Structure 1
């Protein structure tokens, strides 16, 4: 774990490497955030990164969303995603639960064109499945905005794990 003060002193390259996986497979976000140093707090760093995504073209935002793995899927994913899904019980699904998640993930992705995203910390597999069942009835615009909001929450959790306040 690194302090915010130590992070501020890192080179542009080191800063980007340390925070490169805060947003799933998207080091361009901390790379741009590096230029805005110093940050007064972890929350100001997070807000800077959120602003970068919010001001990015919609295609880049969609690319960020699509880089997230399907919840409950048995595919290779980043260490952070694996840890987060394991914590929610998604790595220990029964065969039937796994099939249900696959089916609902497929329905969701067919409807919206991107994976279902939820900040799973503090949630279990039942909470996640219920959220999927509920959100599949949203509009594409609502789900796009919801996916970004969930990504921002995931990024905050990851920053809190990496940076000592």
Structure 2
């Protein structure tokens, strides 16, 4: 992957770096802070390299911190989306999948699936929705309800890292 078009992470101060990358992981600036504190170099000007380091930080975090990051994500087509309370990135991601165009029946189905998922796993359903649509998202919901809690926890982290890559690419 090529370097960022106008942003060179290796040239930023800690405050500038954290300001630029704090939102890559939903309400979790600690990922950017940890990365900067580990040292930033010219290799980090490559999106793929920077993402790999950020993903490794998430996967190396303790389970409590990982769960807090999972829980920082909004429900797909949830009440926060309806009320317009999502971050700009989450709003754009859900809109790109056509979630705002759900019929009342589809919104009700999302609500039922969100509730069933949380009851089964104890955290919100996470899916990198870029390139998907609401029908595929609903099908993924139903399929993933059959997973074990450990499978879903690992899947949630993998999906969060996919979302992070999409957000970095959008920069």
Same fold, TM exceeding 0.5? yes
Report 1 or 2 for greater relative contact order, CA contacts < 8 Å, sequence distance ≥ 6.
1
2:70 to 58, 62, 65: 65
State how many pairs are aligned. 161
Residue 38 (str. 1) matches residue 41 (str. 2): yes
Are 1:68 and 1:115, in contact at CA under 8 Å, matched by a contact in 2?
Answer: yes
Residue 151 (str. 1) matches residue 160 (str. 2): yes
Are 2:97 and 2:132, in contact at CA under 8 Å, matched by a contact in 1?
Answer: yes
Deviation at 1:149, TM superposition (A): 0.3
Are 2:9 and 2:40, in contact at CA under 8 Å, matched by a contact in 1?
Answer: no
CA distance in 2, matches of 1:64, 1:4: 28
Change (3 A) 1:4 1:52: farther
Residue 49 (str. 1) matches residue 54 (str. 2): yes
Deviation at 1:10, TM superposition (A): 1.0
Structure 1 outlier segments of 4+, above 4 Å: none
- Structure 1: segments with no counterpart, 5+ residues: none
- Give per-residue Cα distances to partners, 1:44-94, cap 9 Å, x unaligned: 111111111111111000101011001111301110000000010111211
CA distance in 2, matches of 1:91, 1:12: 37
Q: TM-score, normalised by structure 2?
A: 0.90
The Cα RMSD (Å) is 1.2
